[in-house]
Amino acid sequence: MTITSCKVTSQEPAKDIVIGKNAKWSDKMALTLMKRHPESYMIDDAKKPKWDYVHALVLHSIEELYKKNPDARYKNYVRSYVDQFVQTDGSITTYEFDKYNIDLVLPGRLLFDVYETSKDEKYLKALQLIRKQLAEQPRTQSGGFWHKQIYPYQMWLDGLYMGEPFYAEYTANFENGKSFDDIAKQFEVIQLKATDPKTGLLYHGWDESKQMPWANKETGNSPNFWSRSLGWYVMALVDVLDYMPKDHPKRKDLIKYLNNASEAILKFQDSKSGLWYQVTDKGGQKDNYLEASGSAMFAYAYAKGVNKGYLPAKFKKAANKAFDGLTTVLIKKVDEDGGITLTNCCQVAGLGGNPYRDGSYEYYVNERKKDNDPKATGPFILAAIELNR
């Protein structure tokens, strides 16, 4: 398929989208995003195409939605993104391999289905290129992937979702599962190093060198619990378990990590709204707020965890309560065109860098917010699918 024809197929359905009043929440959100961003590269208000994890998160959710509701517009929307980047030789435009940035692995997830349906070798070569990044990704001494080359010796919870679901699907499809021990190792390291013994929650980041100003000089951990980072972590677990063989000796460990983290997170669900605060354990403190992306991620991981038999049934109840909060507290109204807007989405948060991010409570609660941020809308769609809503 040529890029031009693919662009047309994605544009035409996105042009005259009607969002039905009685549509499911999953379809409502997907169609809203397609209407607001007629070309898939425009997600997150991007002005030009970029190989990016935020696009990948939303497009992965739309890909999953297509499996439940095979509307060709969904498939075309995802395909048009992939085809903007993957060249005939398997190279990927705008993908910066040499940065060893684990965020750039996530869009590779979109290539599996496209390769499966087209059998075009260029997609296989692109998959192999991303796998090569993981093969060369710098690691901590304990074997965990660095988050980025510019963040040496650091693992962030975000990175588990950025890298491991792709790694798991790749090794299951093309390596006869030989890398599952290494995938399990990523979770083992962060579980061992970043878990707080008191709450059972995991800190956002861990610096093996303990050199970063944000890092605790004894543990190397960042100072606070950020809901979205915990969301990335539990989503990574439920997605990796899709591919890990039932008889793999490490599978039970991953299920245990999922249960432990889920129990710890559940203690901080706001009893009234069903949502979680931006800084997970400090609900009610000055400037902390009920945050959409972390809440949507927890709803997805909880619902999928129960559906797949990894988590006890009470988590499905918690997921539905969270989803009720998202749709009644954070979606304040339906727009004139039937579209929906999810509010209270933290737009960005990280550690270190320039300007410097210190991981303090004040830092997290004052980072900017953005309505319908992709880190919230993607998991919202995924949660809606798992909850059949």
The residues annotated as belonging to the active site are 158
As given in the structure block, the two tokens for residue 234 are: 């539990």
Structural contact between residues 296 and 321, judged by C-beta atoms closer than 8 angstroms: no
Peptide bond into 355 cis (omega under 30): yes
Structural contact between residues 43 and 55, judged by C-beta atoms closer than 8 angstroms: yes
Query: Checking DSSP bridges between strand 340-342 and strand 154-156, what pairing results, if any?
Result: unpaired
CA-based Rg of the chain, rounded to a whole angstrom?
A: 20
Structural contact between residues 138 and 152, judged by C-beta atoms closer than 8 angstroms: yes
- Nearest of 9, 158, 53 to residue 61 by alpha carbon: 53
In the 8-state DSSP scheme, what is residue 146? P
DSSP 134-153: HHH--B-TTSPBPSBTTBTT
Structural contact between residues 74 and 65, judged by C-beta atoms closer than 8 angstroms: yes
Structural contact between residues 140 and 189, judged by C-beta atoms closer than 8 angstroms: yes
